[in-house]
A and B are shown apart, each in its own frame.
Chain A
Amino acid sequence: MNEPGAIPAAAPLLSVRGLCKHFPVLSRGFRRPSSEWVKAVDNVNFDIAQGETLGLVGESGCGKTTTARCALRAIDPTAGEVFFRLPDGRVVDLARLSAGELKPVRRHVQMIFQDPVSSLNPRMTVRDIVGEPLVIHGLARGDELETRVAEVLARVGLKPEHRTRYPHAFSGGQRQRIGIARAIIMRPSLIVCDEATSALDVSVQAQVLDLLKELQREFRLTYLFVAHNLDVVRNFCDRVAVMRKGRIVELAPTPQIFAAPQHAYTRILLSAVPSPDPDVKMNFNVGEELAKLDAAE
């Protein structure tokens, strides 16, 4: 249990076991029979402790987003278990709950999306967007709803008068703050951040990451942080899982991933990152190295 990267000693908040998601490859023709399957997620295992941030990194198409979506049951996994510990201590398998059983659990698991434009309904005011989760779960209405929305907006650095405005009136960074407000208003224990800062400029990205860190301390949040930017992950995550072709190839504490990567793929991925230090030369040859890795498998 003390091995780095292994299951955290305390009972984990989220425990994913043997998670698989296979998509059918449809053939041509009227009935489109499928004879082949794409293994988008292929036997993935990981745990996240309460208050921890686990980074899930990899290239596009490696299955990191599909893994995150299966973990919070936004889509149904093909196989595997997703054990989630509720605030009252009960452990449920998100993968097996029925729709009715799932709804009360959902308030504890929230998501922040990559695209600050498409993830906010342009026809809804900020008040309606941020307050909607409370309405759906019947947790607040009237004055109480109004107060809680104002509180949470203030907490993410927006002004009370922003409530009546529409998403188009905000910058990318501010929109992402609206998305964060919508997630934390439910006081969830787990938040899945799917490329939450990828669309932002570096200085805005740094501000949003700082906000997420503060909120984590304040509300004891646990993050599953899906990203392709290794620079962001390095600073933000406690442990990192590197995914490739639907599998986790390496899972270790962040300093170890960056200082002493074990898997050849992790090493290639790290070498491809352009360093802002002109004396640290990046590897332009990753194409050939990846091809060699493929051939060796």
Chain B
Amino acid sequence: MSGRMRLPHGGQIDHNKPLSFTFNGRAYKGLAGDTLAAALLANGVHLVGRSFKYHRPRGIVTAGPEEPNALVQVGEDPRTDPNIKATQLELVEGLSAQPQNAWPSLEFDVGAVNTLAARLIPAGFYYKTFMWPVSAWKTYEHIIRRAAGLGRAPSQRDPDRYDKTYAYCDVLVVGAGPAGLAAALAAGRSGARVVLVEQDHLLGGALLSAAEEMIDGQAALDWVRAAETELSQMANVRILRRTIAYGAFDHGFFGLMENVTDHLAEPPAELPRHRLWKLRAKQAVFCAGAIERPLVFADNDRPGIMTASSVQSYINRYAVRPGKRAVVFTNNDSGYGAALDMTAAGIEVVAVIDLRSAPSGPLTERAEAAGLRILAEHAIIGTAGRKRVTKVRVAELAVEGDAVVGAVEEIDCDLIANSGGWSPTVHLFCHAKGSLNWDEEHACFVPDKAMQAGQRCAGSANGAFGLGSCLAEGAEAGTAAAAEAGFQAGAAVTVESEDRDFLPGRWIWLVPSDKPLGQKAKHFVDQQNDVTAADLKLALREGYVSIEHVKRYTTTGMATDQGKLGNVNAIGIVAEEFGRPLPEVGVTTFRPPFTPVSFGIFGGRDVDDLLDPLRRTPMHAWHERNGALFEDVGQWRRPWYYPQFGEDMHTAVNREVKAVRQSLGILDASTLGKIDIQGPDAAEFLNRVYTNAWKKLDIGRCRYGLMLGEDGMVTDDGVTTRLGENHFLMTTTTGNAAAVLSHLEDYLQTEWPDLKVFLTSVTEQFATITLSGPNARKLLAELSDAELSPNALPHMGYTAARVAGVPARIFRISFTGELSYEINVPASFGMAVWQTVMTVGERYGITPYGTEAMHVLRAEKGYIIVGQETDGSVNPLDLDMGWAVSKTKDFIGKRSLTRADMLKPDRKQLVGILTQDPQEVLPEGAQLVEQVLPQPPMPMLGHVTSSYYSPNCGRSIAMALVKGGLARKGETLYAPLEGGKTVACVVAESPVFFDPAGERLK
């Protein structure tokens, strides 16, 4: 038996497939096809949670995504999920769920003392108190934070995988109810590529919950099955079940989340848990149906009080009786549907309380005919029952509908099915900035104009509530969408059905009671956030009159259901209070997602090592084998240093640095950006983008260049070589290569399209091996056929030759101040050449060095690193590099260098810094002051940009940007460090600490 409240047959469930599950530590049985909510109701369980603020006992209210109360914690850590709606959770064998927000237990919740203190904590109470003493907020906040929150996040890394994919279609149909199926059929028959998205695992929408709807003379669900079969057989139609179209974005772009495995007891290892579909649709048809609103009456939150349509859903779809003795409370015809279905299911309907003075409508008439007791122009004015509703108090409504009169009748019941009307699901339409109209007759917001081309609503999502209209609108919309996407209509979708609306209705937003509002009873508008009608009125009384202020002050509509049940009621109550037409109050903005979507899908498989592309040089494996530690530079992973025999970083770097100066070092410089520049105007182009002159550079010569932005600030530097009359190779900093290429292309295409220049990124086409040190020439001579004498290949010279048998470009350029060769070989030969060089170089004690040693070596020479000595606010003159700035020609950024503030003598300028204690190494980032004050603030002169211990100088060296630094040579400055220590240092005569005459480069 799958629960004492289960009907023996019927429904869209498998009566022969029992499933075991636990809730709140107790074992239960359900059936395949159940949601957790259905299975709990089948077992007579209504109490499923406690409310957010007052910890009131709460039960299942709905059968869908609008559920405010039945939120559960599912599964065990680390596969545990908080805040899952039991009304959407498919039951699987072994499912384990826990109630949330109740301590120590659901039945006895200590937090419920809040109920007693409820009068002290109306909407916004926290803005009015907890202010003294000033320091106490931390404590108050701690308590508030513990009390708030719903479920628990997992405590460990999520072991599941997620996936994402792109998709394109001609027509997207959201919702596979009658309108959506008709739309998909119409579009599908035209040959258009159709994606049909349905959040449920079954197609049919509201028809799944209906008792006896007919379509084309057959049972509605038979028509659904036929439509499903036809759609499944169309190659141009994709049906995505268990998929939520969670957001509509610009230009027909949609976010969908597919639940791939949550409904499987033992998910196959190869499947992701959820999948993000990034879908671009030429046309879209929104057929997301409508959501029934509850009525706002006194103590309307007790377990056993449900929306009428959800009661029908539990009976008809899940074969569950949600109660034995029911009262229906309605203001429109559709509530009678629940009364009839309950009667048919053997639930005793003791009364139908109808706010309308003269109940009418097709279902009303059938209920009358069935002899149900109907109390017209009556209202429920109170309920009783702690963990389940046990009775209602009923009274007659005054003529105006704003008060009750006469005697109060008490009626025992364990279920209240209530209906306050229907709201079309316009969320996606509004995400895409469609506008709404207020439909006075149906009392709901309906789609008006779509902002984006090719978007439309159909069926009850469009305010067409009769089944016949839904089908007709769906078919029409599907045909129109396909036509606009360029497809001729196929066989017409013509289906007939009864067109029953829920009218007439009487729209009373706040059901009166015999007690003043807010006293001794609560009219809940937003159950999850415990917002009552009295809270709304308090907000208005206090001047929070905009609907957005009401929402934010009271938090109505901000819970995990995002106001799907409560928002229109709240707007109605506000409008009534002001005596303003409801549409004037307006709606709050609809924001994605329609229902919550997991964070995991946005990473998909691009997580861990795949989060961002990782770039490795052709010699990477060698570095790994030889124990390199790595540093991330942009997307590149570069060898940082190569510790040997347990060396620490300091020892290893010192060894590498010394080896370069004493004999020979080798550096993998492949990451430097390389841009091939060709064309008759290449030299002119370089002349415009670099600060110095380029036209007269000889073929076979290299030149250092600085690049600025138009604001005059240094953006990049590098050496560029003239390979031929019209052919240059530019190098850029590692991190900036892509940006520099974009910058060059931008100017070339948009400012100077007349220049004949072609740019090609060749960074990854070459491996770059730098040999540096006094023995560099000797080694290279052994490996190469190049003429390497200083006359043939001087400093800043270039030659093409073979190295280790491989065609190579040899640049005699140096970032260390030593005799250096940068050798470019085709990337695929990089490893082979490197290995040959290492083998042959052994006799010179060739030493691989990493970026750290490279930094020390260049700092010994006072060479800058863009991004370290510069930060976007440094110009070439600040760097004392006026020698690289042409006075005679224009270049990008030149005009900025003569603006008033650029010429001030107190700009920060780059200088060398020597600590008074030569063994003291300043931390990079240390700030320098003229005078140490006993306490801050202390006027700062600038900061240390680079600082190292230099084994070649036998002392520490540093560079700094210092206000008026070039005029401060010889001055003593101080670096007050974290922890109270102060380091005295002197501004050096020059930032070139090693071989200032450049003898070693000759």
Our verdict on whether A and B bind, yes or no, reads no
Which residues on B are within 8 Å of A, measured CB to CB? none
Which residues on A are within 8 Å of B, measured CB to CB? none
